[in-house]
Amino acid sequence: QLVESGGGLVQPGGSLRLSCAASGFTFSSYSMNWVRQAPGKGLEWVSFISSSTSTIYYADSVKGRFTISRDYAKNSLSLQMNSLRVEDTAVYYCARDPGPYDSVYWYFDLWGRGTLVTVSS
Amino acid sequence: EIVLTQSPGTLSLSPGERATLSCRASQGVSGTYLAWYQQRPGQAPRLLIYGTSSRATGIPDRFSGSGSGTDFTLTISRLEPEDFAVYSCQQYGSPPLTFGGGTKVEIK
């Protein structure tokens, strides 16, 4: 399973670090993603990191402000969010790509329940 | 970027009825690279369909997907109480991958 944490209320321009704890599967074998959903809106892909960490992608909307990383020892995925904007307000989900090792399928077969990030003054 | 438009926004049906959900793309989706997800309130999204028509592990056969090009459909043959939820489509044929806005299936 995947369990996100670290969400909360932050002022515009502030920072927040989200974490996602993985269990029940071999975390190091899978690429991982962050996907978010603003209130009343559809899902939006945010960032990708390959199983080997050799490949990282970001949505244009967060490029230069967010940093994705993973810790194999802790079976954990992270998202460091800086220079937060009101439009970053959303539930953030971590999601697994089912492709083994560095094969990437680009859909998501395992999701967490999400953590809410609210950016407001 | 490919924009996915889902219709209707809300579908009001009774248990046992058939649900037909539409996902229309602003341009052709490469290959069969379309997936469907179910979201129940407070729960993790759940993968239902990938590759337009392949059911994910453990998904009952009352769920089926079809389509090609710009028009895709998710069909639930007979609604069970646990099927009342929000359904979203996702294309992954052309970067950036994108999602539709969702269709809510509610109890009539």
d(CA A75, CA A22): 6
Does residue B8 have a cis peptide bond before it, meaning omega lies within 30 degrees of 0?
Answer: yes
pLDDT value of position B68: 95
Which residue is listed with tokens 């790509």?
A97
Collect all residues of chain A within an 8 Å Cβ-Cβ radius of residue B37. 43, 108
CB A82 within 8 A of CB A44: no
Q: Residue A13's CB: how many other CB atoms inside 10 A?
A: 11
Mean pLDDT of B21-48: 94
Contact A43 B47 (CB under 8 A): no
**Chain B residues bordering chain A (beta-carbon distance below 8 Å):** 33, 35, 37, 42-47, 50, 56-57, 88, 90, 92, 96-102
Is residue B42 pLDDT above 90, yes or no? no
CB B29 within 8 A of CB B22: no
Q: What is the average pLDDT score of chain A?
A: 96
Contact A109 B56 (CB under 8 A): yes
pLDDT value of position B50: 97
Mean pLDDT of B3-21: 97
Closest CB to B47 among A41, A107, A113: A107
Is residue B104 pLDDT above 90, yes or no? yes
Per-residue pLDDT tens for A18-67?
Answer: 999 999 999 999 999 999 999 999 999 999 999 999 999 999 999 999 99
**Chain A residues bordering chain B (beta-carbon distance below 8 Å):** 2, 41-45, 59-60, 93, 95, 105-114
pLDDT value of position A100: 86
Strands B86-91 and B71-76: unpaired
Is residue B31 pLDDT above 90, yes or no? no
B84 Cα to chain A: minimum distance (Å): 17
Mean pLDDT of B4-25: 97
B37 Cα to chain A: minimum distance (Å): 9
Is residue A102 pLDDT above 90, yes or no? no
Mean pLDDT of A65-85: 97
Is residue A101 pLDDT above 90, yes or no? no
Per-residue pLDDT tens for B62-93?
Answer: 999 999 999 999 999 999 999 999 999 999 99
Among the listed residues A109, A102, A48, the one whose alpha carbon sits nearest the alpha carbon of residue B51: A109
Give the number of A-B residue pairs with CB atoms closer than 8 Å: 53
Amino acid at A88: D
Residue A120: CB partners within 8 Å, gap ≥ 6? A9, A11, A12, A86, A89
- B82: phi then psi, degrees, rounded to nearest 5: -80, -5
pLDDT value of position B30: 86
